[in-house]
Amino acid sequence: MTNDTAATRLAIVNVDITGLWTTPDSPRPIDAPLVADRPDHQEWLTAMDRTTLEDGRLGLYDRFDSELLEGEPVIVASGDTDGWTRVTSPWQPYDGSDTGYPGYIRTAHLTPVEDASLDALPDSGLAPTTETFLAEARTHIGLPYLWGGISPKGLDCSGLVHLSLRRLGIVFPRDGGDQYRACADVPIDQAQPGDLYFFAQPGKEIHHVGIVTGPGRILHSPSTGQDVVEEEMPAQRLQTLTKVGRIRQLQ
């Protein structure tokens, strides 16, 4: 993806971590540390963990779609409205958009720029191999699940995959369904370490993704209230295992 349209407005994220919200009205009072002009991501997590799961991390469902990290470029879809800007994120490919994952971000967390690399991550210096992917993913074991999280402070299931590949310089989709569509389909009984397990209820969309680490073993961020873990495939997961995908960019 390149900036071929002169009228395209670009910006980069100027804070460590910020949220990509469904609407400007999505944040709750407890989310104030993250939507402040100078956000405090850790204080936000701490505030949510002082209360119940329902009022804290579980309450992010249908409000909080993803995160944006410092230096990440965005395409400005609409101008500032009451301190909010609608953007799309090219580094987070999204099937419903030609320009990346959409959402609302605090305007104060953006710096307008004339040009930005929309289709290439900074050189990580790491070879994009199955071994480096697994090694990177394992550094996050023990990290608490965070709906919409794509940073080393909190990850959801697809965020674990996305961040681990981003660290290798690979632009990869944000959500599980899009991640499957970006992979080569592999028969379940031919899964290899570094492939991705995908889970769905019959007739439903993919709702979970994990990384294959061995026969019947999975590295994943299970759900709110749990931590990133590498384990034998739980029985309830095995019942909904529906597909395996092989990441095309890994050597």
- pLDDT by 10-residue block (mean), the chain, 251 residues: 62 98 98 98 98 96 97 94 97 91 98 93 94 98 98 98 97 97 97 98 96 97 97 95 98 89
Q: What is the pLDDT of residue 63?
A: 98
Q: What is the pLDDT of residue 7?
A: 65
Nearest to residue 195, comparing CAs of 173, 182, 219, 212? 212
Contacts of 244 (CB under 8 A, 6+ apart): 185, 186, 187, 188, 190, 191, 195, 196, 197, 198, 212
Contacts of 127 (CB under 8 A, 6+ apart): 168, 251
Q: What is the pLDDT of residue 8?
A: 84
Nearest 5°: CA angle at 214, between 168 and 150? 35
Distance, CA of 170 to CA of 194 (rounded, Å): 14
Partners of 36 in the beta sheet?
Answer: none
pTM of the model: 0.95
Tokens at 95, concatenated = 């099937």
Q: What is the pLDDT of residue 2?
A: 44
Amino acid 178 reads D
Partners of 217 in the beta sheet?
Answer: 214, 232
Contacts of 18 (CB under 8 A, 6+ apart): 34, 39, 67, 68, 105, 106, 109
Q: What is the pLDDT of residue 6?
A: 45
Q: What is the pLDDT of residue 182?
A: 96
Tokens at 85, concatenated = 């800007």
Distance, CA of 10 to CA of 87 (rounded, Å): 9
